[in-house]
Amino acid sequence: MSTNPKTSPTAGLEGLSPETLLVHGGTLRSGFGELSEAVFVTQSYVYQSAEEAEERFKSEAGFIYSRYANPTVAMFEERMRLLEGAEAARATATGMAAVTASLLCFLKAGDHLVAARALFGSCRYVVEDLCPRFGIASTLIDGRDTEAWARAVRPNTKAFFFETPANPTLDLVDVAAACEIAHAAGARVVVDNVFATPILQKPLQLGADVVVYSATKHIDGQGRCLGGVVLGSASYVKDHLHNFLKHTGPSLSPFNAWVLLKGLETLPLRVRAQCAAAAHVADHLASARGVVRVLYCGRADHPQVSLAKRQMSGFGQVVTFEVEGGKAAAFRFLNALRLVKISNNLGDAKSIITHPATTTHQRLKPEARAELGIAEGTLRLSVGLEAIGDLIADIDRALAASRIG
């Protein structure tokens, strides 16, 4: 997309803070001079002549078809690019579309992919089931073990893929160390940064090549719409990602892009408040009767807390914990909640909770869940923006119910 200097989405924004970029970055204004970003609801675009249409299709310098690019979507992409510090970005219809496109746009039959085994269930499906159908071999490892990444490398290894922190166990991968191993082998590193958000962790600065987000989570942050985004180098986007998205069509709708733009304006405020509340909740759970264990990246008892402090500026709003009594007790806990809602999403202004063994990770065999540390009593809590006293009271009431069996 080309723009003139008066409407350039980056003019005058270089060097500004993330909070400022998330309010002003990427904005394109029409001749009406609207303050809020406009929603350009259109499938295609009009050309002034046949010659202009020919040139536009040849150069793609401008808008052709909203499956390729759209002004509202372009604003969201540019704002995310500025925030992440990437050379280029492309939006997708969902977070899983972003994950799938980020890998399949450059991997081919005969290639090998190494991934951390602690992944969201759908991400494991892409790695374990989908990639092999296209002749892309995959190896799952314990991503916490840096040496395991090196041992898994083959001559045809072309990609490393991992979440950090991981869903729902909050396992961490040493991003810089994994990137060093991958680059020595000539492989790209793709990081799913959704739990950390672009506010708390910068994988590109740690050496990663590609970063993906489910914008459905914190970026929207209010449970309204789906979306995803992939960020990387200009050459990666131009040579691989753009054509893959253009021809396979997982396009982000203009309206969803507008909702995500509005969500980005308050992202730093929400994330910081949720991090503070999550730390409080984690400490409370750690001292509560009937709780077997608590996982929170910022707690001193997290097994990788030193790594978390080294590569993250904050520790997120997800607290994973296990209640005594297995599935029955976990279900009693869930059903006793009044304020916290049962849902499989996260990063919302509302506090929401899920039972991974029967929802997000239900497709995994019991032994695979056990290997990851997902027990029948494990619960994943995404802390929202409610008053902390109200949340604690709701949790305590549910814990009391979980012990009655």
pLDDT at 7: 45
- Residue appearing with tokens 């942050």: 221
Is residue 94 included in any domain, yes or no?
yes
CATH (domain of 354) = 3.90.1150.10
Q: Angle CA(65)–CA(71)–CA(74) in degrees, nearest 5? A: 100
Question: Are 359 and 290 in a shared domain?
Answer: yes
pLDDT at 404: 85
Query: Buried b vs exposed e over 274-305: b needs ≥16 C-beta within 10 Å?
Result: bbebbbbbbebbbebebbeebbbbbbeebebb
Instruction: Please identify, among 250, 265, 280, the residue that sits at the C-terminal boundary of a domain.
Output: 265
Q: If you average pLDDT over every residue of the chain, what do you get?
A: 95
Q: How confident is the model at residue 61 (pLDDT cuts 50, 70, 90)?
A: confident
pLDDT at 15: 81
The C-alpha atoms of residue 343 and residue 270 are separated, in whole angstroms, by 19
The candidate with the shortest Cα–Cα distance to 225, out of 78, 73, 94, is: 94
Question: Are 125 and 220 in a shared domain?
Answer: yes
Percent of the chain with pLDDT over 90: 92
The C-alpha atoms of residue 2 and residue 7 are separated, in whole angstroms, by 10
Question: Are 245 and 104 in a shared domain?
Answer: yes
Residue 178 has pLDDT above 90, yes or no: yes
Question: Are 257 and 397 in a shared domain?
Answer: no
Is residue 282 included in any domain, yes or no?
yes
The two structure tokens encoding residue 39: 């929603």
Condensed to tens digits (0 to 9), the pLDDT of residues 83-110 reads 999 999 999 999 999 999 999 999 999 9
Question: Are 254 and 280 in a shared domain?
Answer: no
Is residue 22 included in any domain, yes or no?
no
Instruction: Please identify, among 265, 283, 311, the residue that sits at the C-terminal boundary of a domain.
Output: 265
Is residue 14 included in any domain, yes or no?
no
Condensed to tens digits (0 to 9), the pLDDT of residues 245-284 reads 999 999 999 999 999 999 999 999 999 999 999 999 999 9
The C-alpha atoms of residue 359 and residue 125 are separated, in whole angstroms, by 14
pLDDT at 164: 98
Q: How confident is the model at residue 12 (pLDDT cuts 50, 70, 90)?
A: confident
Is residue 58 included in any domain, yes or no?
no
pLDDT at 2: 38
Question: Are 194 and 301 in a shared domain?
Answer: no
The C-alpha atoms of residue 1 and residue 60 are separated, in whole angstroms, by 7
Q: Which of 51-65, 238-252, 286-300 has the lowest mean pLDDT?
A: 51-65
CATH (domain of 222) = 3.40.640.10
Question: Are 252 and 273 in a shared domain?
Answer: no
Is residue 125 included in any domain, yes or no?
yes
Is residue 11 included in any domain, yes or no?
no
* CA-to-CA dists, residue 352 to 8, 105, 173, angstroms: 39, 34, 25
Question: Are 122 and 244 in a shared domain?
Answer: yes
Q: How confident is the model at residue 405 (pLDDT cuts 50, 70, 90)?
A: low
Question: Are 313 and 280 in a shared domain?
Answer: yes
Structural domain harbouring 159: 72-265
Using an 8 Å Cβ cutoff, are 187 and 168 in contact? no
What's the average model confidence in pLDDT over 192-198? 97
Question: Are 372 and 398 in a shared domain?
Answer: yes
Q: Where are the alpha helices (DSSP H) in 88-145?
A: 95-104, 121-125, 131-133
> What is the count of structural domains for the chain?
2
Residue 9 has pLDDT above 90, yes or no: no
Q: How confident is the model at residue 1 (pLDDT cuts 50, 70, 90)?
A: very low
Using an 8 Å Cβ cutoff, are 114 and 160 in contact? yes
